[in-house]
């Protein structure tokens, strides 16, 4: 008995799950990087004030 009659649908679901995990990882990484960059610009900005 075949559980998956359409292997293309199973492959599409697998690829969409991988893409979703990659998107979550990218968003998390960008948020932490954004906080660090913001802190760096804040330090530069306060160092430039007369």
Instruction: List Cβ neighbours of 10 (8 Å cut-off, separation of 6 or more).
Output: 4
Residues 32-43 have pLDDT tens digits of: 999 899 999 999
Tokens of 49: 């004030």
Asked if 4 and 12 count as a contact pair (C-beta separation under 8 A), the reply is no
Dist. CA 4–CA 14, nearest whole Å? 13
Give residue 1's pLDDT band: very low, low, confident or very high (50, 70, 90).
very low
Dist. CA 33–CA 27, nearest whole Å? 10
The size of the chain, in residues, is 50
The pLDDT value recorded for residue 26 is 96
Look up the pTM and report it: 0.61
């Amino acid at each position: 008995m075949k559980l998956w009659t359409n292997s293309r649908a199973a492959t599409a679901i697998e690829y969409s799950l991988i893409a979703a995990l990659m998107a979550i990882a990218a968003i998390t990484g960008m948020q932490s990087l954004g906080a660090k960059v913001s802190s760096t610009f804040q330090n530069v900005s306060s160092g430039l004030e007369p």
